[in-house]
């Protein structure tokens, strides 16, 4: 029998199960949570909690589900400090910067890529993230994409094939040849490691027809699409994502009414990446417009060395509230349950019986403090799959 632990004296518990408490967050006060092995077995009133082997006193503080970071690019080498510096002196962001990281990644050993990935996963965990999706996309050869995904798959369940991140320099005169490789031998080598296929559908990367060919080839190999869409310009990415039944369309910085209508009428989650607009000095996406249209919104870091080098979901929550029209409740939901929806996961992003025991104890009386106290490290303790990982 695995050991059980009760968290008692929880001042405020975000369950994300509306049947358990108030509003979409299913908020409970004076609550308890019992975990056993890898699972939650009880979330409810302190009075009704079953006995457990061990007890942790939350001291009246808040407990939330571990963050679900549904969009990151953690398999890379090097950094882009100089590019960031230039941007903060007025230069604008362009997709071409990706090639700098591609050059560094191609020359890095698997051990270096693995160590970098683990360093960022540890950083995320310390801030309360317990589910992470990550992508390839800095290899852009058959071999470098496949080994990038092998490194990711050694640590993560949510792995995305992004051979279509940008056309690498050696194919500059033959983008069609590169798409053939991405949909042919590269897909063959990469599909066994991945659950998802992604494409950067953007000026300077892949157009709508190329994106359709790449996503369709991935679907035929059993991968489910997600799309980098409408980051730098309005374009066909969002509508293509919805048409192909993508789990998520990500960025959504420049949207037409037709894009919003498409998202509202489909099942594709809209994933917003505030760290990206912050670090590229771009306009922020209008989360309010999406939420008011009824779109399911996720928040994620997009952690990568070019456009968003933050691993912090609390930072993203704070920016989304301050700059994108989200309420603190909406932002916390989007960073937990929203991320789970973007990854089509039922077992994470909530704290109710049967969920994975991914739990964050905040050094704060309420989840609202994640937005109210920007930049403050509030994750006092983190349990991942029922194991105390931080604290
Ligand atoms: O999601 N937009 C495309 N890909 C990344 C940026 C990658 C980079 O600049 O290295 C993103 O923002
Ligand atoms: Fe990205």
Q: Which of 94, 200, 253, 280 to mutate to test the pocket of ligand 1 (most atoms within 8 A of CB)?
A: 200
Q: 241 and 326 in one domain?
A: yes
Q: Which pLDDT value is given to residue 212?
A: 98
Q: 202 and 95 in one domain?
A: yes
304 C-alpha to ligand 1 centroid (Å): 7
Q: 55 and 164 in one domain?
A: no
Q: The complex's ipTM?
A: 0.97
Q: 247 and 309 in one domain?
A: yes
1: pLDDT strictly greater than 90 = no
Q: 274 and 176 in one domain?
A: yes
Higher local confidence (pLDDT), 154 or 94: 154
Dihedral of CA atoms 217, 219, 223, 228 in degrees, nearest 10, equals 80
pLDDT in tens, 187-238: 999 999 999 999 999 999 999 999 999 999 999 999 999 999 999 999 999 9
Q: 98 and 37 in one domain?
A: no
111 is in an annotated binding site: no
The closest of 128, 65, 61 to 365, measured between CA atoms, is 61
Q: 146 and 265 in one domain?
A: yes
Give the chain's domain count.
Answer: 2
Q: Which pLDDT value is given to residue 356?
A: 98
Q: 130 and 47 in one domain?
A: no
The closest of 147, 172, 153 to 163, measured between CA atoms, is 147
CATH number, domain at 355? 2.30.40.10
The closest of 129, 73, 115 to 305, measured between CA atoms, is 73
72 C-alpha to ligand 2 centroid (Å): 6
CATH number, domain at 83? 3.20.20.140
277 C-alpha to ligand 1 centroid (Å): 11
Q: Which pLDDT value is given to residue 94?
A: 86
Domain that holds residue 271: 68-342
Average pLDDT for residues 231-254, to the nearest whole number? 98
Around ligand 1, the residues with Cβ closer than 6 Å are 73, 97-98, 101, 200, 228, 231, 276, 302, 304-308
Q: 258 and 178 in one domain?
A: yes
Q: 158 and 36 in one domain?
A: no
Instruction: Answer whether 300's CB lies under 8 Å from 316's CB.
Output: yes
Atom 3 (ligand 1) nearest CA: 200
Instruction: Name the β-bridge partners of 45.
Output: 31
Q: Which pLDDT value is given to residue 325?
A: 97
Q: In what order do the strands lie in the sheet with 196-201?
A: 67-69, 129-135, 158-164, 196-201, 224-229, 248-251, 269-272, 297-299
Which residue, 342, 363, 378, sits at the end of a domain? 342
Q: 386 and 337 in one domain?
A: no
pLDDT in tens, 51-109: 999 999 999 999 999 999 999 999 999 999 999 999 999 999 888 899 999 999 999 99
Half-sphere exposure in the Cβ direction for 16 (13 Å, CA): 28
Q: Which pLDDT value is given to residue 225?
A: 98
Q: 328 and 281 in one domain?
A: yes
For the entire predicted model, the pTM comes to 0.98
């Amino acid at each position: 029998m695995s050991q059980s632990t009760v968290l008692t004296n929880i001042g405020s518990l975000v369950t994300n199960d509306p049947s358990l408490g108030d509003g979409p967050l299913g908020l409970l006060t004076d609550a308890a949570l019992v975990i056993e092995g890898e699972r939650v077995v009880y979330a409810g009133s302190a009075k009704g909690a079953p006995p457990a082997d061990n007890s942790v006193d939350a001291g009246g503080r808040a407990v939330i589900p571990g963050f679900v970071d549904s969009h990151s690019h953690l398999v890379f080498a090097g950094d882009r400090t100089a590019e960031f510096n230039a941007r903060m002196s007025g230069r604008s962001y362009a997709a071409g910067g990706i090639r700098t990281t591609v050059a560094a990644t191609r020359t890095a050993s698997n051990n270096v890529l693995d160590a970098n990935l683990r360093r960022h996963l540890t950083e995320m965990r310390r801030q309360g993230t317990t589910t992470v999706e990550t992508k390839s996309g800095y290899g852009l050869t058959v071999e470098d994409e496949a080994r990038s995904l092998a490194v990711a798959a050694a640590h993560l369940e949510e792995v995305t094939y992004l051979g279509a991140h940008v056309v690498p320099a050696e194919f500059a005169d033959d983008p069609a040849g590169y798409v053939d490789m991405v949909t042919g031998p590269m897909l063959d080598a990469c599909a066994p490691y991945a659950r998802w296929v992604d494409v950067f559908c953007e000026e300077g990367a892949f157009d709508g027809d190329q994106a359709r060919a790449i996503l369709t080839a991935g679907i035929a190999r059993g991968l489910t699409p997600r799309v980098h869409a409408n980051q730098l310009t309005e374009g066909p990415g969002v509508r293509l994502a919805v048409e192909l039944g993508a789990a998520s369309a990500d960025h959504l910085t420049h949207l037409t009414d037709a894009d919003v209508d498409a998202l509202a009428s489909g099942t594709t989650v809209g994933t917003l990446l505030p760290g990206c607009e912050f670090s590229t000095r771009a306009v922020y996406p209008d989360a309010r417009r999406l939420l008011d249209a009824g779109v399911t919104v996720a928040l994620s870091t997009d952690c990568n060395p070019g456009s968003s080098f933050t691993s912090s979901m609390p930072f993203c929550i704070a920016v989304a509230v301050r700059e994108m029209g989200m309420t603190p409740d909406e932002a916390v939901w989007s960073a937990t349950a929203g991320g789970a929806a973007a990854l089509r996961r039922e077992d994470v992003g909530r704290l109710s019986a049967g969920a994975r025991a991914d739990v964050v104890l905040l050094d704060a009386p309420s989840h609202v403090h994640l937005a109210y106290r920007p930049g403050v490290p509030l994750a006092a303790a983190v349990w991942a799959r029922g194991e105390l990982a931080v604290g």
